[in-house]
């Protein structure tokens, strides 16, 4: 049963935020530094063509590791990589001796420092693809239940020059049937979507018939794989940057109106439709990683939902409790009131618990351009005519 309509607007008074935070983080006076090397992950973040003999390790020099989660994505299938934290809490090692070939690894680690503060680290790397082969890393994962805004996205590890051949070798179908068309973003990314959001309950199947398909001179596909996902209920949330509110609608019905803080005038939030790409209970946000200077470094941002590749998040904000519903103070993200560590009874916790990867967040009345269609899963910002104009036929 859907929850009754709730409104948090007006519960917060005044605004005394100072500075700003990670693409949506307001200032965090007194926040201790969290050096990048506190939680050390090898191979390093964004490493490519990692050879199978290189060891996967997560380490801290002090304190202890609380949790390490590693996922291997290979042939459109996500597999948990099991491992163990050492008795002294300083090191995590996988049970597997060697890294898999042609795979993408995602590492999420949370550590507890000696002073009791938590730090989070999120890294990815890809391993060597043998010979002249190409693979496509697929979003969403197999057997996932997603929101109605999910776009099927294939990221190729090599530049594709014969785009028509590759597009023909990928088939995306739905039940009940709906027209689904591809669109290329450059030579490394191929996305699929219907004209409108998926209908709730739709079963989507993706057939990758890429093995031995020539994607570029002398470069052939490796995958022959089928996977599927299910579209869950519809949830579309409208962020009004001028009113400092977010209306959450479930299956067309207003579920809640939540106070928010968006990007400050000097760093406004993107307008347009964005899709939840990832959901993290807690993560670290550092201004250096998104092109800013040293404005902020928050090691424990709660209820973080990634919206763009460039670093836009919708997340909990415990450091500027007076901002949501009152004023825009962030570096571009959308912030909801929260408490340190993340509370289930806060606006951020309430929204996080009711969200899915694939849900739509639409921002209006911000003094910024519309988000680019290839920045995250932003393809819904393209007209159907423009989307279908580049199917790889050329």
> Is pLDDT at 52 greater than 90 in this prediction?
no
Place of tokens 């760093």: 267
> Is pLDDT at 45 greater than 50 in this prediction?
yes
pLDDT in tens, 329-362: 998 999 999 999 998 899 999 999 999 999 999 9
What pTM did the predictor assign? 0.80
Class of 133-231 in CATH: mainly beta
Q: Confirm or reject CATH 2.40.440.10 for domain 6-30+234-379, answering yes or no.
A: yes
Give the residue numbers marked as catalytic: 315, 333
Average pLDDT of the residues in 381-389: 97
C-alpha angle 16-342-33 in degrees, rounded to nearest 5: 65
Cis amide prior to 176 (ω within 30 degrees) = yes
pLDDT in tens, 54-102: 999 999 999 999 999 999 998 888 999 999 999 999 999 999 988 998 8
Strands 47-50 and 152-156: unpaired
- What are the residue ranges spanned by the domains of the chain? 6-30+234-379, 39-127, 133-231
Cis amide prior to 43 (ω within 30 degrees) = yes
Sign of CA dihedral 273, 278, 284, 289: negative
Structure tokens of 245? 């509110």
Structure tokens of 139? 């979003």
Same fold, 6-30+234-379 and 133-231: no
Percent of the chain predicted with pLDDT > 70: 87
13-22, 42-51, 99-108: segment of lowest average pLDDT: 13-22
Non-local CB neighbours of 177 within 8 Å, separated by 6+ positions: none
**Strand positions, DSSP E, 224-296:** 224-231, 235-240, 245-250, 253-259, 272-275, 278-286
C-alpha angle 286-27-339 in degrees, rounded to nearest 5: 90
Is residue 145 within 8 Å of 230, Cβ to Cβ?
A: yes
Domain at 39-127: CATH architecture: Sandwich (2.60)
């Amino acid at each position: 049963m859907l929850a009754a309509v709730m409104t948090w607007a007006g519960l917060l008074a005044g605004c005394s935020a100072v500075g700003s935070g990670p693409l949506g983080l307001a200032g965090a006076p007194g926040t201790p530094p969290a050096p990048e090397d506190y939680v050390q992950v090898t191979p390093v973040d964004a490493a490519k063509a990692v050879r199978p003999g290189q060891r996967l390790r997560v380490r801290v020099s002090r304190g202890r590791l609380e949790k390490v989660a590693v996922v291997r994505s290979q042939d459109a299938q996500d597999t948990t990589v099991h491992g163990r934290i050492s008795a002294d809490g300083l090191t995590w090692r996988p049970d597997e001796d060697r890294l898999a070939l042609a795979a993408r690894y995602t590492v999420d680690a949370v550590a507890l420092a000696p002073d009791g503060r938590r730090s989070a680290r999120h890294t990815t790397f890809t391993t060597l693809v043998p010979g002249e082969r190409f693979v496509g890393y697929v979003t969403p994962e197999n057997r996932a239940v997603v929101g109605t805004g999910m776009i099927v996205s294939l990221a190729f590890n090599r530049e594709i020059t014969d785009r028509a051949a590759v597009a023909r070798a990928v088939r995306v179908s739905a039940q009940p049937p709906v027209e689904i068309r591809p669109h290329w973003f450059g030579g490394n990314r191929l996305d699929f979507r219907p004209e409108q959001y998926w209908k709730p309950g739709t079963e989507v199947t993706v057939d990758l018939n890429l093995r031995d398909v020539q994607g570029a001179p002398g470069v052939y596909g490796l995958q022959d794989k089928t996977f599927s996902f299910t579209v869950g209920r519809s949830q579309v949330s409208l962020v009004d940057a001028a009113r400092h509110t977010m209306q959450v609608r479930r299956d067309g019905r207003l579920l809640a109106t939540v106070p928010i803080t968006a990007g400050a005038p000097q760093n406004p939030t993107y307008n347009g439709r964005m899709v939840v790409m990832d959901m993290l209970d807690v993560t670290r946000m550092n201004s250096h990683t998104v092109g800013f200077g040293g404005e902020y470094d928050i090691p424990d941002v709660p209820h973080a939902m990634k919206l763009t590749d460039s670093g836009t998040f919708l997340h909990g904000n415990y450091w500027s409790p007076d901002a949501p519903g009152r004023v825009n103070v962030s570096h571009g993200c959308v912030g909801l009131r929260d408490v340190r560590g993340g509370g289930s009874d806060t606006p951020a916790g309430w929204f996080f618990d009711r969200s899915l990867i694939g849900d739509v967040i639409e921002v209006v009345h911000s003094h910024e351009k519309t988000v680019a269609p290839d920045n995250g899963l932003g393809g819904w910002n393209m007209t159907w005519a423009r989307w279908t104009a580049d199917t790889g036929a050329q």
